[in-house]
Amino acid sequence: MMTERVCIKCGASLPSTEFYSSNSATDGLRGACKECVRSENRANAKAKPEERNARVKAWRKANPDAWREIQRKARAKRKAKKLAENHKQCCDPIVKSGVGEPP
């Protein structure tokens, strides 16, 4: 059965799938709908960048291993991208074959 609940922010009656779950909420769902939570997060990130940075910083400190892993992946991604760009001229099959080259 699909239960509906009313968003405490926008007042819209929406199916429970439109609400994020929350461990602290009594019924396991947040009071505001997903759209309201999203716009709230966006607004917060814009209005208080330093607060967000502080949160990220605290998270990094608490999860150094996870943070290292994220950095490692980002580095590998950047490296692969750069490598692909460097080899575009010599190794790109389209450029190499002459197809798609300007006359």
Residue 7 binds Zn ion, judged by CB under 5 A? yes
Stretch that binds Zn ion, among 9-17, 23-31, 49-57, 83-91 (CB under 5 A): 9-17
Q: How far is the CB of 20 from Zn ion (least distance, A)?
A: 11
- The residue among 40, 42, 43 whose CA lies nearest residue 8 is 40
Stretch that binds Zn ion, among 8-16, 45-53, 56-64, 76-84 (CB under 5 A): 8-16
Q: How far is the CB of 3 from Zn ion (least distance, A)?
A: 16
User: From its phi and psi, is residue 28 left (phi > 0), alpha (psi between -120 and 50) or beta?
Assistant: left
Residue 19 binds Zn ion, judged by CB under 5 A? no
Residue 33 binds Zn ion, judged by CB under 5 A? yes
In order of 20, 39, 54, 56, the CA distances from 70 in angstroms are 25, 26, 18, 13
* Separation between Cα atoms, residue 102 and residue 59, nearest integer Å: 50
Chain residues in the site for Zn ion (CB under 5 A): 7, 9-10, 33, 36
